[in-house]
Copies of this chain bind each other. A is one copy, B any other.
Amino acid sequence: MDRTCRETRITVRYAETDQMGVAYYANYLVWMEVGRVEYCRAAGFRYRDMEEDGVLLTVVEASCRYLRPARYDEEILVRTWIEKATPRLVGFGYQVLRAADRGTLATGATKHVFCTRDMKPTRLPPKYRALFGI
């Protein structure tokens, strides 16, 4: 399995802050999604092509631990790796860092099942397996 870690750079948007003056907690899940897409791209495929091919990656679990707040206009890094992958499901792990000092802001995980366009579980077609390290 491919344990390689990919790193994506994101600048915190004003839209992503809330009145507490920090990034709103749901946005970390958006950033994880950006990390996943970049992970796939770095692994050699575009998630959108896989989706056009009829294979959807539907989320079944997501979790996040928030250690330090991310602030407006800060550069953050989303490190993404595959925790586990089978032809049925894939689990991603994430670490969100502040780019300036590489301090950890959050850690997270998501689990996904491969589905057809009408949301039925399916097996990942063989041609994609190596890309997920299966």
Count class of interface residues, chain A: 35 or more
User: Are A15 and B26 within 8 A (Cβ)?
Assistant: yes
Decide yes or no: A60 and B65 within 8 Å by CB, A18-B15, A30-B13, A73-B48 being known contacts. Answer: yes
- A109, chain B: closest CB distance, angstroms: 9
Q: In the complex, what residue of chain B is closest to A74 when comparing beta carbons?
A: B48
User: Are B17 and A33 within 8 A (Cβ)?
Assistant: no
Whole-angstrom CA separation of A89 from B33 in the bound complex: 29
A1 at the interface (CB under 8 A from B): no
User: Are B59 and A25 within 8 A (Cβ)?
Assistant: yes
User: Are B63 and A64 within 8 A (Cβ)?
Assistant: yes
User: Are A73 and B61 within 8 A (Cβ)?
Assistant: no
Decide yes or no: A66 and B59 within 8 Å by CB, A15-B33, A25-B29, A26-B30 being known contacts. Answer: yes
Query: Can you list 30 residue pairs at the A/B interface with Cβ under 8 Å?
Result: A11-B34, A14-B18, A15-B26, A15-B30, A17-B18, A17-B19, A19-B19, A19-B20, A19-B22, A19-B72, A20-B56, A22-B119, A25-B29, A25-B33, A25-B59, A25-B62, A26-B26, A26-B30, A37-B73, A46-B73, A58-B69, A60-B65, A60-B66, A61-B63, A61-B64, A61-B65, A61-B66, A62-B63, A63-B63, A63-B64
Q: Give A contacts to B, CB under 8 Å.
A: 11, 13-15, 17-22, 24-27, 29-30, 33-34, 37, 46-48, 56, 58-67, 69, 72-73, 119
